[in-house]
Amino acid sequence: MELIPGKIPGYALASTFVALGGILNGFDTGSVGAVTEMPSFIHTFGHLTPTMRGFTVSLIMLCGAIPAIVAGHLADRFGRLRIIIVGAILCTIGCVLECAASHLSLFLVGRALMGIGQGFALTNIGVYICEIAPSRSRGKFVSLPQFGAALGAALATMWAAGSFFLPESPRWLILHGQRSRAMQELKKLDFEAAEAEKDVLRPTENAAPGEQVGILQGLRLIFKREYRSQTWLAVFILSFVQLSGIDGVLYVRCAPQRRELICAY
């Protein structure tokens, strides 16, 4: 599993590709407010009231919050990539419904499916990258989804199709007793043998192979004394990612004809 000079490591390719989910999220965030003011949108769905516009824009996040609660547990049970793929497919279906909608109700169904898909997928993308990338490169690759969100290009179909060809998380395979397959996936990821033995293949401290951690058990675990500080640090960082970002600007649309700002978030 020695890296060939000049060859791009498999973990770099896989991390970059799966981060396309962040691009999808960023494109929706940056464009949906303006879309509701497009002449074609108004011609098809009519003028929305401020309340309905706010609901239409925020529906994707409202629906995304629900599967995000259980997405990690499902990924522990069925695999990171399987849940990411399910989320990507739901996003693709949602995109198709939004584009093909002739009634507002169908458009809202599409946005709801997009939200559910993003809730399943985006929750697990960071975990997947952390588990396939070596420790020395983990930081820069795990930031790719957020970078992708800033790019904001719509690539849901490519994201869904390409995910079928990505290797499964070796750490998840180890936890489920599939060591031989984990070794095969590590070769695809171009992990160095020493790095794999030190990081991925070493026994975990808190779970035996095949052992499942329930949702409530997992919530209690992250608030135990030994993990509590890391939990609050993660909450602090993610909160300020939103508070210090431009979401407040992106979700406000300007209506020059009425000289007012209507908040849609």
Structure confidence by residue, pLDDT tens digits, 211-229: 555 677 777 888 888 888 8
Q: How many domains does the chain have?
A: 1
Domain annotation covers residue 254: no
Domain annotation covers residue 123: yes
Q: How confident is the model at residue 111 (pLDDT cuts 50, 70, 90)?
A: very high
Longest dimension (CA), the chain: 65
Domain annotation covers residue 15: yes
Domain annotation covers residue 199: yes
CATH code (residue 187): 1.20.1250.20
Q: Residue 105 class from Cβ within 10 Å (0-12 exposed, 13-18 middle, 19+ buried)? A: exposed
Structure confidence by residue, pLDDT tens digits, 129-145: 888 888 888 888 888 88
Structure confidence by residue, pLDDT tens digits, 169-212: 888 888 888 888 888 888 888 877 777 777 777 655 555 554 55
Is the overall model pTM greater than 0.85, yes or no? no
Domain annotation covers residue 55: yes
Domain annotation covers residue 218: no
Residue 2 pLDDT? 55
Domain annotation covers residue 226: no
Residue 89 pLDDT? 93
Structure confidence by residue, pLDDT tens digits, 155-174: 755 666 777 788 888 888 88
Structure confidence by residue, pLDDT tens digits, 69-101: 888 889 888 988 999 999 999 999 998 999 899
DSSP 115-178: HHHHHHHHHHHHHHHHHHS-TTTHHHHHTHHHHHHHH----HHHHHHHHTTSPPPHHHHHHTT-
Structural domain of 183:
10-212
